[in-house]
């Protein structure tokens, strides 16, 4: 049986089937290891397009690929659907739902979660966007705000329902704010009788001096201009000092709003606590130049869970290409080490950064090349289709985008999960969601 063969081969356990874990498992194809890939979801999620699920442009299945299908033809990979709750470093075992999974090599690729910088109570009022369930939850909140406004007799409450605040001016915040503006001003524009969705106010709040700080200043300005043309108010240099169920406070100022979305920051998953590892301020484990844990050369930490710097000492960004390159690197490092060879330190190759603003504009920075506007947007579309996994998802995303581009419509405008509730009573708190859950 396959399992008897597997016993004789060293076992690599990978926690997390995000960009890092998936890339590592794929790079171990045909290599003399048994691979166990553990994830709490049965699908790999293409996170860069998650904001399009939250804003009703794509369906969850369009950006998710069943992990088992990805590895169907790679017989050395065993997929386990389970919640990992700890790592027994002394015994070389991963603990998942009361079960112990032994490893010879371990790759920790558990990603990041929302961070509220000491304000955990804001989470229920300002949900973040990390999972499919987060995205359908945000979609429900955004669409319900318009529905509630349509039947709301009180003027002030109607105003509050039509105000949307996005906190955080990174790519996710910019993409969300742009997409909500287009939803309100185009897709929903003619659909209501008592309210004018075009009167919705969308505010993007950023604590730093400008949005998209990872881009060159000229591209930040292009993005700002594009957002303002879409009708988004951008408040940079403005720190949020409070979030509640009726609005956001920023020092003396306040914006009344029933829909606050959090895109202001992430922290690593609790993996470095499981490992008892030294971590940085964002909870990311400090690693050796080969991404192994200090003193544990057979345990690797990659992606958003690892604290890494580039050649100039600058921290690597929490983006998919870093995780993918690290997954690939670690798979080869393990193979080399098992063969008694050594490997050079991990080095990140930056092929560029992209962010989109609405349906036809984007900014792109590729080495010294800077692009903005429609050309950058085409590049953005191409790159995202290219990196999606599987022919079906590529095809469906293309079809959806072509249709939305031609019609200004959104195809996935469903409010789900409100069974039996009075629409006016549907409360954010009524819904379980991952950003606010306690760890098991």
Closest contact distance (angstroms) between CB of 92 and a copy of itself is 20
When asked if residue 416 is in the footprint of a copy of itself (CB under 8 A), the reply is yes
CA-CA distance, 98 to 286, in Å (whole number)? Answer: 28
When asked if residue 155 is in the footprint of a copy of itself (CB under 8 A), the reply is no
Which region, judged by CB under 8 A, interacts with a copy of itself, from 238-246, 323-331, 358-366, 393-401? 393-401
CA-CA distance, 267 to 184, in Å (whole number)? Answer: 31
Angle at the Cα of 70 (from 67 to 73), degrees rounded to 5?
Answer: 125
Which region, judged by CB under 8 A, interacts with a copy of itself, from 249-257, 302-310, 356-364, 398-406? 398-406
| Residue indicated by tokens 């895109």 | 263
Among 190, 199, 214, 218, binds a copy of itself (CB under 8 A): 190
Tell me how far CA of residue 333 lies from CA of 300, 311, 326, 336, 342, in angstroms: 10, 19, 10, 5, 8
When asked if residue 432 is in the footprint of a copy of itself (CB under 8 A), the reply is yes
When asked if residue 5 is in the footprint of a copy of itself (CB under 8 A), the reply is no
What is the DSSP track for 167-192?
A: E--SHHHHHHHHHHHHIIIIITTTS-
Contact 172, 47 (CB under 8 A): no
When asked if residue 124 is in the footprint of a copy of itself (CB under 8 A), the reply is no
Among 13, 49, 132, 200, binds a copy of itself (CB under 8 A): 132
Structure token pair of residue 145:
């705000």
Q: Which is nearer to a copy of itself, 140 or 284 (CB)?
A: 140
Closest contact distance (angstroms) between CB of 199 and a copy of itself is 16
Which region, judged by CB under 8 A, interacts with a copy of itself, from 161-169, 234-242, 247-255, 422-430? 422-430
When asked if residue 69 is in the footprint of a copy of itself (CB under 8 A), the reply is yes
Among 64, 181, 261, 381, binds a copy of itself (CB under 8 A): 64
When asked if residue 86 is in the footprint of a copy of itself (CB under 8 A), the reply is no
What is the DSSP track for 209-229?
A: SSS-TTS-HHHHHHHHHHHHH
Among 8, 30, 73, 369, binds a copy of itself (CB under 8 A): 73
Among 5, 32, 88, 97, binds a copy of itself (CB under 8 A): 97
Closest contact distance (angstroms) between CB of 67 and a copy of itself is 9
Q: Which of 8, 26, 32, 47 is nearest to 337 (CA)?
A: 32
Map residue 26 onto helix, strand or coil: helix
When asked if residue 427 is in the footprint of a copy of itself (CB under 8 A), the reply is no
| Residue indicated by tokens 């910019």 | 174
| Residue indicated by tokens 């029933």 | 258
Q: Which is nearer to a copy of itself, 90 or 440 (CB)?
A: 440
Q: Which burial class, exposed, middle or buried, applies to 329 when counting CB atoms under 10 A from its CB (0-12, 13-18, 19+)? A: buried
When asked if residue 121 is in the footprint of a copy of itself (CB under 8 A), the reply is no
When asked if residue 66 is in the footprint of a copy of itself (CB under 8 A), the reply is yes
Does 439 qualify as catalytic in the annotation? no
Q: Which is nearer to a copy of itself, 135 or 255 (CB)?
A: 135
Among 133, 244, 288, 350, binds a copy of itself (CB under 8 A): 133
Q: Which is nearer to a copy of itself, 154 or 438 (CB)?
A: 438
Residues facing 11 on adjacent strands? 34
Closest contact distance (angstroms) between CB of 85 and a copy of itself is 9
Among 5, 120, 309, 421, binds a copy of itself (CB under 8 A): 421
Identify how many contiguous H helices and E strands the chain contains and give both numbers: 12, 25
When asked if residue 199 is in the footprint of a copy of itself (CB under 8 A), the reply is no
When asked if residue 80 is in the footprint of a copy of itself (CB under 8 A), the reply is yes
Residues facing 113 on adjacent strands? 267
Q: Which is nearer to a copy of itself, 369 or 406 (CB)?
A: 406
Label the pairing between strands 306-307 and 34-39.
unpaired
Which region, judged by CB under 8 A, interacts with a copy of itself, from 174-182, 305-313, 315-323, 410-418? 410-418
Contact 342, 334 (CB under 8 A): no
Q: Which is nearer to a copy of itself, 242 or 411 (CB)?
A: 411
Q: Which long-range contacts (CB under 8 A, 24 or more apart) does 384-387 make?
A: 384/48, 384/49, 387/46, 387/48, 387/320
Q: Which of 152, 175, 182, 206 is catalytic?
A: 175
CA-CA distance, 36 to 78, in Å (whole number)? Answer: 5
Q: Which burial class, exposed, middle or buried, applies to 282 when counting CB atoms under 10 A from its CB (0-12, 13-18, 19+)? A: middle
Which residues are near a copy of itself by CB under 8 A? 2-3, 40-43, 59-62, 64, 66, 68-69, 72-73, 78-83, 97, 99, 131-133, 136, 143, 147, 150-151, 188, 190-193, 391-393, 395-396, 399-400, 403, 407, 409, 411-417, 419-425, 432-434, 437-438, 440
């Amino acid at each position: 049986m396959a399992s008897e063969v597997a016993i004789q081969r060293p076992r690599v356990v990978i926690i997390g089937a995000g960009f890092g874990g998936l890339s590592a498992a794929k790079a171990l194809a045909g290599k003399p290891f048994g691979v166990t890939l553990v994830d709490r979801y049965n699908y790999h999620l293409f996170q860069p397009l998650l904001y399009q699920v939250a804003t009703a442009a794509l369906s969850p299945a369009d950006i998710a690929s069943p992990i088992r299908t990805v590895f169907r033809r790679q017989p050395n990979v065993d997929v386990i659907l389970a919640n990992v709750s700890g790592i027994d470093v002394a015994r070389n075992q991963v603990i998942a739902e009361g079960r112990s999974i032994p490893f010879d090599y371990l790759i920790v690729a558990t990603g990041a979660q929302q961070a509220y910088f000491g304000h955990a109570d804001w989470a229920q009022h300002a949900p973040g966007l990390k999972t499919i369930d987060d995205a359908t939850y945000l979609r429900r909140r955004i669409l319900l705000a318009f529905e509630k406004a349509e039947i709301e007799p009180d003027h002030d409450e109607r105003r509050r329902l039509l105000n949307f605040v996005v906190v955080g001016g990174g790519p996710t915040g910019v993409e969300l704010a742009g997409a909500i503006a287009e939803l309100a001003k185009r897709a929903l524009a003619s659909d209501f009788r008592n309210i004018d969705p075009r009167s919705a106010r969308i505010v993007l709040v950023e604590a730093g001096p400008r949005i998209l700080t990872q881009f060159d200043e000229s591209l930040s300005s292009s993005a700002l201009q594009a957002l303002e043309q879409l009708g988004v108010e951008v408040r940079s240099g403005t720190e949020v000092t409070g979030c509640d169920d009726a609005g956001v406070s920023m020092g003396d100022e306040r914006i009344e709003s029933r829909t606050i979305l959090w895109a202001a920051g992430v922290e690593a998953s609790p993996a470095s606590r499981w490992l008892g590892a030294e971590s940085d301020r964002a909870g990311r484990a400090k690693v050796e130049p080969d991404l192994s844990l200090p003193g544990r050369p057979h345990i690797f930490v990659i992606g958003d869970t690892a604290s890494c710097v580039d050649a100039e000492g600058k921290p690597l960004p929490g983006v998919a290409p870093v995780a993918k390159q690290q997954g690939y690197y670690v798979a080869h490092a393990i193979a080399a080490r098992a063969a008694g060879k050594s490997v050079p330190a991990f080095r990140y190759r930056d092929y560029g950064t992209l962010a989109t603003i609405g349906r036809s504009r984007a900014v792109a920075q590729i080495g010294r090349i800077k692009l903005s506007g429609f050309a950058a947007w085409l590049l953005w579309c191409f790159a995202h289709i290219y990196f999606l996994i599987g022919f079906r998802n590529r095809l469906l995303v293309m079809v959806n985008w072509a249709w939305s581009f031609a019609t200004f419509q959104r195809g996935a405008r469903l409010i789900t999960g409100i069974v039996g509730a009075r629409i006016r009573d549907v409360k954010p708190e009524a819904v379980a969601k991952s950003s606010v859950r306690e760890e098991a």
